[in-house]
A and B are shown apart, each in its own frame.
Chain A
Amino acid sequence: MQLSAEQKQFLALPFDQTLFLHGLAGTGKTTLAGKRMLQLLREAPDEPILVLTPQRSLAFPYRKLLEQAEGFKSYSVNFATMNTIAQRMVALFWPLYSERAGFHFPYRPPQFLTLETAQFYLGKLIDPMLDRGAFSSVSITRHRLYSQVLDNLNKSAVVGFPYTEIGAKLSAAWVGESSQLNVYADLQVAVNAFRSFCLENNLLDFSLQVQLFREFVWQDPLCRRYLTSQFAHLIYDNCEEDPPYVHDILLEWLPSFKSALIVYDDQAGYRVFLGADPHSAWRLYEQAQHTRELTQSFTASQEVARLRNYLVTPEKSSVYPPLDYATLTKVLHIPEHPLRFYQQMLADVATQIQELVASGTKPGQIAILAPFVNSSSGFAMQQALSQRRIRARIFRPSIPLIEDAVIQCFITLAELIHPEWHLPLAKTQLTNCLTTAIDGLDMVRARLMVDKLVDFATSTDLLKPFDGLPEAMQTRITPKFGSRYEQLRLWLRQVDPQLPLDIFVSQLFGEVLSQPGFGFHQNISAGQSTHNLIESYRKFRLSVNMQTVRDSNQLSLDYVRTLLDGVISAQYLSTWQNEDPDSVLIAPALTFLVSGQSVVYQVWLSVGSSGWYERLEQPLTHPYVLNRAWPEGKKWTSEEESRVSNANLEMILSGLLSRCRKGIILGLSEYNQAGQEEKGLLLLHLQSLLRQALKESGNA
């Protein structure tokens, strides 16, 4: 790739200082930082480099570069996020501070909680509160309730204020119905109870990990030296997506590095809901000896860049040449006919994508973006594309693991040998389980089996022997399927119900379900799903403090309940990184932005939606009020709301247009999926742009 003059100049800077590189997405910052990393490896091959990013996937370009570049000592490059560093350090130095930090069993090892196990424990504390009427005026799912409570704790840790002030901060900013103040009071009770529970049981949720790292480990000169002496150079990309605590640490850490390169995306900071604070990150700018801004976009075509300028900074647009209607509509593809309904929009968009693909665009170079992608909207879009023979992959941040039919099958079979769990077994669930488990078994015969062979009334041996059926029924089900059923039944009868769930699953898979005649025989994706379930259970088991559970049976039940509640999500990191040139990406806009990818064409679905810029409705937490910059006692009014909305829209438009090479296809319908009309800010902006362009072109 040809380097521009400004890039060459930057690469020539010496390796003994802190550099701060910023610019819009698509101006080649990461490319430049990658070159810098290779330069460092060449010039000082033995000096360890820390590549720090807010999330693992953002280090992907650096990893790829290392893989491709031969002859470098890649082992001296260390990839990390501050959270992984914190966790490692907290684990390593635990005995040094555990007593001071208030843990009840400072000499026992700590238990690191995952998001799921944190929710699991929190549920145990909150459910009794709910029964007593707490949180009664908010109506959200339990799952979201738990995650918002945890969110608050995490904010207190990454922003840096005592968790005991969460309720007070939220209350102080509230201007609406006074009943909400009770909700905040309940929230504080839940937060306090959870923290005490963690201290009593040596449990470390994310917030405690960060807090311990900041307040104990990093403050201890010994520990700090241990950490800082490990790395000579720092490359820190996307610093604007990290919360303030990371910047706090780095401000103190920077002097210890021989050289540092900090990369900052202008007009970004998408992970506000996780505490991202671009304002705080900008403090690093002031510490740098050299700062550089990159301005030339390598991604967006000239027209897209101009569109970006008009949409993002309309008041400055007078400095750009007027955008005429023909140029504008070359980049902005507007629907040919007004469309009334959501699925008409999906069909229209799918047809346009089909045309793009037919004229040579690779499906992988097209991203369909929407404010939200839910289970049905994603599926419907995928369906519309598949009718046009175009493959699509959906990226939703959290898809409940239980939606996987293979996993449902295992769980149903586990329920069958555990009648004492008293989990409800529906006939459809059993029917689906049998059609999944037995190769070739159809729904009609599976249902006959369930009707005739499952005795819901007994508490033991729910499954009855096949040869006890009248001959006519045996013939209907067929001896072939009957014998498979018998194999499965006998296996379930002899298996020890006390086996831990992962062992049960792995034996069931190996000894029965992967055998010829069964559903998972030579079925790779079923194998992958089985693996996911086993992994997920193991993680759960590892992060649950066994002293809080009676036995492995109880643990299995706890896990299954959490799974059935939809709390446990599938991990999608691997599929996300697996870029597929032959399938169109369907993703929420923010998720796409955080991934750091760019594409040739973007489709914006539901242009009229206010979801493009409005903050998520979170009745129990508030990313802006809990932000470091929020003045104490200030009220969150509707003016604030609209200020934030406008700023968000600008940020998202800037990000999307910086990551788009050729054009935007607008998906627009009169009614949304729920049958409501939508006329959001984005739509209004686009309309006035079109009118303006029409006027410029003299057509108005």
Chain B
Amino acid sequence: MPEVLRESQARILSYIGGKMGISAVPGSGKTWTLSRLAAKLISTAELQPDQEVLVVTFSNSAADNFSTRIGQLLRQSGVLSGLGYHVRTLHGLANDIIHQRPELAGLTNDYQILDQNEADAILTHTVDAWLKLNPHFFDDLLAPGYISLDTHEPTQKAAENIPGLVKSVGLAFIRTAKDLRLTPAEITNRLRDYPVDTSLLQMGLALYQDYEAALNYRGAIDFDDLIWLAYQCLENDPDLVALLRHRWPYILEDEAQDSSVLQEKILRQLVGTDGNWVRVGDPNQAIYASFTTANPNLLKRFLAEPDVRKEDLPESGRSCQSIIDLANSMIDWVQYEHPNREVRDALTPPYIQPTKPGDPQPNPPDEPGAVEFVNWQMSDQAELDFLVERVQAWLEKNPESTVVVLAFLNDRVAKIADALRNANIPVVDSLMNLPDPTRLSAGAIANIFESLLNPDNPKKLAVTFKVWKRKFREDQAAWDQIEAGARLIQGCPALENYLYPQEGVEWLENLKGQHSDEMLTDLAAFREVVRRWHQAALLTPDQLILAVAQDLELDAVELATTHKIALLIRNLQDMHPEWSLEDLNSELVDISKNLRRFENLSNDAEGFDPQAHKGQVVVATMHKAKGLEWDKVFLSSANNYDYPSGEEGEAYRAETYYLRDNLNLQAEALAQLKNLAEGFPIIDFRLGTYSPDDRNEVIRERLRLFYVGITRARRSLTVSYNTGRLKNNKEALVCSALRNRMNLGG
């Protein structure tokens, strides 16, 4: 943490009020600056005891991160942490607002929020039901070759894909409708005026209606409703607005480029005309628009408002000069030379500047060949081989460095991970599947209970052994050993001879010589733990949970979750004194399947730290890599399919190949819906009208994604591509353009 402030940081920290917009480049320490600003305001702004600085973040883990930093800063200044600030994601904030007056949103006090999994399950069900009722909807939409000439039914290939397509169109439709504040009834009403074929909107509407009915039946709302209803509360109750404006006299917003129209409106309401609002973001890193309702133009517009003080955080100590030059050159190329003029606004300055001499975060020294674009054509497999070879070579030379291989698609990342593993390179893929602490510990404890309920069952004890050792799950070699140990336990014919042997029949003793000493020591240690748990079985169930948790080496979040589970079990037990441990355990199993009760605890991992994986290779999608940095970055699969530019002959993922005329059904549906919302008197409902427009949005977002990818690198970057499954992909235009601009050979 730099103690000396950069000029740009000092300017920002001199803020005392009003509206301020900050454009921050990658690696410029915006979280650091923003938490400093929050701590400064808390200690100097003369807040009343019931006032707080509100910090709005994009993700739960960012919220946790901010809380911790502000808390530490306050504690360093001598007061208690935890007071004078309120850190929330926008959804969390919306939930707080609705909680104040749920009746304004037509909700009862105990409304439920569906988690993403449940909402997803409901939508799947809705789509299935809709397809049963509308079996011929796609008959006219399919491309030749995807409809059988004999039966006039979709071919198997098309039929397999249609439910997924309907679901993703439906999801986007429902989200957008909610962001536009259109109820199903309102859409029905507006559609009445159009005497033409509105079938695509009718499809979206039908899905929306059924989905909402399912939510109402459960007395639940989803994440998108949170935002909408919060805004509704604010709109309908000026007193509530006044109360909240008093409570939050300062609002600091991080990742402002990811706000949607409605989210921004909520913050505008809370700020008021002459309120205090600081927004930090990097419009160049807006990479979520295509699957959320986020809109990066909002931040750009805000920065241009007359009463907004505009600041930049342009210095970054992250990358070496060559990589900084590359990123800046990309901004220039996009702005001035991109052949598709429509997308030239995808990236904007500020340019990245290296830190000044004496800065606590000096840029890494430049090394020759720091940036490399591989321009020879490789097949799928050839690129994998190439990556394996290069990663291996890099790690041999730089065993203490951090490395990542990035790709656009999950599938590709998984393939890369397999290829690296097959070459015995240590791979970390935890960014791809972050462990979920709630499920882990509730599930783990349910498994242990299951074994305590059946103490003579070797199979259940074997599972418990794996739960006990689950920290080693990532270490394949160790895990193989643990699996072997579990198989041994499972094969134990009489558990009492393992756990409580009588003289002469000692099961573990008889294994000596047949298995490694290490495994036998493990099994003996596990025996001690199980005996302890057996003794604890006489405690009340909530105490038993806490006692068991002691032996599971849980991290802080998991332990906190365990405490919450214990409390929950206690309450259940008080409500149902007649319940046995068996009954309580079946409830525990439910909890482990169901996250709803744990809204407050972050589900994100504690924040991924690349530094913890030196000498290993991390694999991730470009999206997951946001906010992180590595010494060496391999940016793979940089072809014109994943990074299109608008040239003739390019294919677009959203333009479904089995539909006629490369229809982008989602783009069509959303454009029609937006026009409907705007109240345009004439809306073109002919399919195919809007698909091309969406291409430019895709091109812009992929350009920013590429920018995010290259700015992850500290010392060295290698960009490669492959020709894809159909062997027709080319090098992405951005690659060849940058290669030429930077005079980099192949």
Contacts and interface: CB of A to CB of B under 8 A. Distances in A.
B194 interface: no
Given A428-B582, A444-B496, 17 more contacts: A338-B75, A340-B67, A341-B559, A343-B556, A374-B567, A376-B566, A403-B540, A426-B582, A428-B581, A435-B538, A671-B600, A675-B598, A677-B600, A683-B80, A687-B79, A687-B80, A700-B43
A376 B570 contact: yes
6 contacts: A608-B82, A671-B600, A671-B601, A675-B601, A677-B600, A690-B80
A699 B68 contact: no
Interface string B567-586: 10010001101101110000
Counting chain A CB atoms within 10 Å of each CB, which of B452, B453, B499, B560 scores highest? B560
A84 interface: no
State the main secondary structure of chain B at its contact with A: helix
A442 B575 contact: no
A344 B82 CA distance: 15
B547 to A, nearest CB: 7
A337 B560 contact: no
B559 A343 contact: yes
B548 to A, nearest CB: 11
A700 B538 CA distance: 53
A431 B83 CA distance: 50
Interface in A641-700: 666, 668, 670-671, 673-677, 679, 683-684, 686-688, 690-691, 694, 699-700
Contact of B563 (A342, A431, A443, A694): A342
Given A566-B574, A673-B563, A443 B82 contact: no
B26 interface: no
Interface pairs A-B: 9 shortest CB-CB = A338-B71, A338-B81, A426-B580, A341-B560, A442-B500, A405-B538, A376-B542, A443-B455, A444-B496
Nearest to A693: B78
Interface of B: 43, 49-50, 64, 67-68, 71-72, 74-75, 77-84, 452-456, 494-496, 499-500, 502, 534, 537-540, 542-543, 545-547, 550, 556-557, 559-561, 563-564, 566-567, 570, 574-575, 577-578, 580-582, 598, 600-601
A432 interface: yes
Interface string A559-573: 000001110000000
A383 B578 contact: no
A402 B580 CA distance: 13
Interface string A428-446: 1101100110000011111
Given A380-B546, A424-B578, A671-B600, A447 B455 contact: yes
Interface in A325-355: 325, 329, 334-338, 340-344
Interface in A442-485: 442-448, 451, 476, 478
A686 B80 contact: yes
Most chain A Cβ neighbours within 10 Å, of B72, B79, B570, B598:
B79
Contacts of B563: 341-343, 376, 380, 673
Contact of A375 (B80, B534, B542): B542
Given A343-B563, A444-B495, A448-B456, A668 B82 contact: yes
Contacts of B43: 700
Contact of B502 (A436, A478, A686): A478
Contacts of B80: 334-335, 666, 668, 683, 686-687, 690
B570 A679 contact: no
Contacts of B84: 687
Contacts of A671: 560, 600-601
A379 B543 contact: yes
B75 A336 contact: yes
B82 A683 contact: yes
A688 B453 CA distance: 52
B540 A375 contact: yes
B78 A690 contact: yes
A574 interface: no
Contacts of A436: 538
Nearest to B575: A141
Interface in A610-626: none
Contact of A670 (B71, B74, B570, B574): B71
A447 B75 contact: no
Q: Contact residue range for chain A? A: 35 or more
A23 B741 CA distance: 86
A564 B500 contact: no
Contacts of B570: 374-376
Nearest to A607: B80
A338 B500 contact: no
Contacts of A341: 556-557, 559-560, 563
Contacts of B545: 376
Nearest to B568: A674
Contacts of A687: 49, 79-80, 83-84
A564 B83 contact: no
Contacts of A699: 77-78
A426 B452 CA distance: 13
Contacts of B454: 447
Contact of B543 (A141, A375, A451, A684): A375
Contacts of A337: 72, 75
B534 A670 contact: no
A424 B560 contact: no
A694 B78 contact: yes
Given A444-B456, A699-B78, A673 B556 contact: no
B85 to A, nearest CB: 10
Given A337-B75, A342-B560, A376-B546, A141 B574 contact: yes
Contacts of B561: 675
Residue with the highest number of chain B CB atoms closer than 10 Å, among A344, A379, A608, A699:
A379
Contacts of B575: 141
Contacts of A448: 456, 496
A670 B77 CA distance: 18
Nearest to B601: A675
A120 to B, nearest CB: 14
B562 to A, nearest CB: 8
Contact of A565 (B495, B543, B559, B577): B577
A337 B72 CA distance: 7
Nearest to A402: B577
